[in-house]
């Protein structure tokens, strides 16, 4: 089925994979960091299928552990508050995954600017640096939250 999807949609799905590893699986994130070129090339469908299975497993565990979204499940929203705002602002010209990627970068940036507590998890920082922090707006300014 992956072979039938436009590359843009697959890459958008990779943003959700990054999100899952950032919130739940540091080892998976390190693996994805190592293999991101392989993933983005969209040539190795066996690897992509394994990646999807890994991420479905993460999401299922989180949803099963918190079916009423009263705690841990909220972590699945990482990048989505900003991402949904970006989607709306850009009138849905970017895909959901593209906006979530930008949203994760924005959330990490906001965290950096608002949180003096540097014990926050390193994967969020690494995802921002590794997978880009580019905003489509040339006049974009970092979000000041404090």
Q: Which residues bind Zn ion (CB under 5 A)?
A: 100
What's the maximum distance between 2 C-alpha atoms anywhere in the chain?
46
CB of 40 to Zn ion, least distance (A): 18
Residue 37 or 108: the one with the smaller Cβ distance to Zn ion is 108
Torsion angles phi and psi, residue 33, rounded to 5: -60, -45
CB of 143 to Zn ion, least distance (A): 20
CB of 80 to Zn ion, least distance (A): 6
Residue 28 or 103: the one with the smaller Cβ distance to Zn ion is 103
The contacts of residue 114 (CB under 8 Å, 6+ apart) are 145, 146
> Taking a C-beta distance cutoff of 8 angstroms, is the pair 99, 84 a contact?
yes
Residue 29 or 55: the one with the smaller Cβ distance to Zn ion is 55
């Amino acid at each position: 089925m992956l072979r039938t999807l436009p590359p843009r949609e697959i890459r958008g799905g990779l943003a959700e994979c990054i999100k899952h590893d950032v919130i739940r699986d540091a080892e998976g994130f390190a693996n994805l960091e190592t293999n991101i070129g392989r993933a983005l090339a969209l040539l190795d469908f066996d690897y992509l299928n394994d990646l999807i299975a890994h991420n479905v497993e993460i999401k299922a565990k989180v949803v099963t552990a918190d079916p009423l979204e009263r705690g841990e499940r909220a972590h699945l929203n990482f990048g989505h508050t900003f991402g949904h705002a970006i989607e709306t602002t850009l009138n849905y010209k970017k895909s959901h995954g593209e906006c979530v990627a930008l949203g994760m970068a924005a959330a990490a940036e906001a965290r950096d600017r608002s949180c003096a507590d540097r014990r926050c998890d390193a994967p969020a920082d690494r995802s921002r640096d590794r997978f880009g922090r580019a905003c489509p707006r040339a006049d974009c300014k970092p979000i000041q939250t404090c």
